[in-house]
Amino acid sequence: MTTAASTASAKPVALVTGAAAGLGLAIATELHAAGWRVLLTDRDGDAAASAAHALDAGGATAAGRALDVLAKADFEAALAALSAGWGTPAVLVNNAALTLTTPVMQISAEEFSRVTDVNLRGCFLGCQVIGAAMAAAGFGRIVNVASLAGQNGGTASGAHYAASKAGILALTKIFARALAGQGVTVNAVAPGPLDLPSVHAMVPADKLAQIVQTIPVQRLGDARFIARTVVLLAGDDAASVTGAAWDLNGGLFMR
């Protein structure tokens, strides 16, 4: 007899960083809808737990946990908790990011380090810790959230943000080569401007309208579309895709 508990235990496991809101929450939501058990992590553990509760109040297929991406020990603790409960994660989404819009000539050394540490070092630690566990298990899918800013050098989101996202694209290729022989793929998604509350809060309405006019498809990106691309990369149909950056920018950057 198949029970709800046994059905839940058969589902593969995903870990998403920065998942309490915005794009991270959209990714966690789409993975959950596609049949994954999802650990939503965020520096704000209460917000992550609340978001997970909204997906599954019983906690069988969604859970929330505090995780500071600057702390390797936090990744190790999350991995240990998953391994003891649901099992080794088959998917890692490195989404956590910090965006500051300080003009480039006014960025302090401390602020530069703060942004690049969260965005780039956090991605590195996630790939290293969770990627090693995936390699030992012989299977895994890592998806890193980069950005159009890291491809075209855009500074609207901050030069340090753009630099960190460019670094994520490089790390994606490096880890893809390192883990390919162990059954682990590593890819990146590179969104353009998204229709998210955080974007509307950061960019004045008149400037945002001007940005939309420069986008060939004439609209901001939809976080759900980005999330569904992540689901595709997490699935069997993308087994031969690794080291790739998926451009999801409405035509702002073509190659």
Report the range of poorest mean pLDDT among 32-36, 37-41, 217-221: 217-221
Catalytic residue among 161, 220, 233, 247: 161
Number of compact structural domains in the chain: 1
The DSSP letter of residue 117 is: I
Q: CA dist 19 to 28, 34, 45, Å?
A: 7, 16, 10
Residue identified by tokens 């908790």 is 81
Residues 162 and 150: beta-carbon distance below 8 Å:
yes
Domain assignment present for residue 173? The answer is yes
Residues 89 and 130: beta-carbon distance below 8 Å:
yes
**For the residues 136-161, what does the mean pLDDT come to?**
94
pLDDT tens, position by position, 170-188: 999 999 999 999 999 999 9
Residues 202 and 161: beta-carbon distance below 8 Å:
no
Residue 34 is part of which domain span? 4-248
Domain assignment present for residue 30? The answer is yes
Domain assignment present for residue 254? The answer is no
Domain assignment present for residue 224? The answer is yes
- pLDDT in the model for residue 9: 58
Cβ atoms within 10 Å, residue 170: 13
**The domain spanning residue 180 has which CATH number?**
3.40.50.720
- pLDDT in the model for residue 2: 36
Mean pLDDT of the chain: 93
Between 145 and 212, the more confident residue is 145
> Is the pLDDT score of 7 beyond 70?
no
Domain assignment present for residue 70? The answer is yes
Domain assignment present for residue 86? The answer is yes
Active site residue 237: no
Distance of alpha carbon 130 from alpha carbon 136, whole angstroms: 10
Residue 145: which pLDDT band, with cuts at 50, 70 and 90? very high
State both tokens at 181. 């022989």
- pLDDT in the model for residue 10: 65
Domain assignment present for residue 255? The answer is no
State both tokens at 160. 């340090």
User: In Å, how far from its chain's centre is CA 56?
Assistant: 21
Residues 184 and 131: beta-carbon distance below 8 Å:
yes
Report the range of poorest mean pLDDT among 9-23, 53-67, 82-96, 139-153: 9-23
- pLDDT in the model for residue 5: 45
**For the residues 34-63, what does the mean pLDDT come to?**
98
Domain assignment present for residue 128? The answer is yes
pLDDT tens, position by position, 201-254: 877 888 888 888 888 898 888 999 999 999 999 999 999 999 999 999 999 889
